[in-house]
Amino acid sequence: MPSSTKVVKEIEFHQQAALEFEAATDWYQKRSPWAARQFVAEITRALDGILETPERWPRGLAETRRFVLKRFPFAIIYREHSSIIQVIAVAHGRRRPGYWKDRL
């Protein structure tokens, strides 16, 4: 009987997405260390969900997908490659839509 093996992918952040994540974490940290911890935990849960079922969230431009956080006004914009999940943006909901398109 053939066994099904699931390919485990890794998360790779675009440089600008990593900076967005750090800036948001710093912003929350300055206002409330508790909120900063909650933000990081929410991002971590989102990334775990994306790794588990990357095709679950709606498609967008250039095969990107969008995972909208529930407790914070951010979305993770990502795309799936054969061996990695690339995070294109950690986008604030009030920032100009699609500002990250030049990263594709």
Rounded Cα–Cα distance for residues 64 and 49 (Å): 16
Confidence label for 8 from pLDDT (cuts 50, 70 and 90): confident
Q: Work out the average pLDDT over 57-66.
A: 92
DSSP code for 83? S
**Which domain range does residue 44 map to?**
10-93
Domain count, the chain: 1
Q: Work out the average pLDDT over 24-33.
A: 97
Q: 98 with 88: CB under 8 angstroms?
A: no
CATH value at residue 83: 3.30.2310.20
Looking at the chain, the whole-number percentage of residues with pLDDT higher than 70 is 93
Angle at 7 between CA 6 and CA 13, to 5 degrees: 135
Q: What is the pLDDT of residue 63?
A: 92
Q: Work out the average pLDDT over 44-68.
A: 94
3-state secondary structure of 97: coil
Q: Helices 33-52 and 15-31: crossing angle, nearest 10°?
A: 150
Amino acid at the residue 40: V
Whole-model pTM: value is 0.89
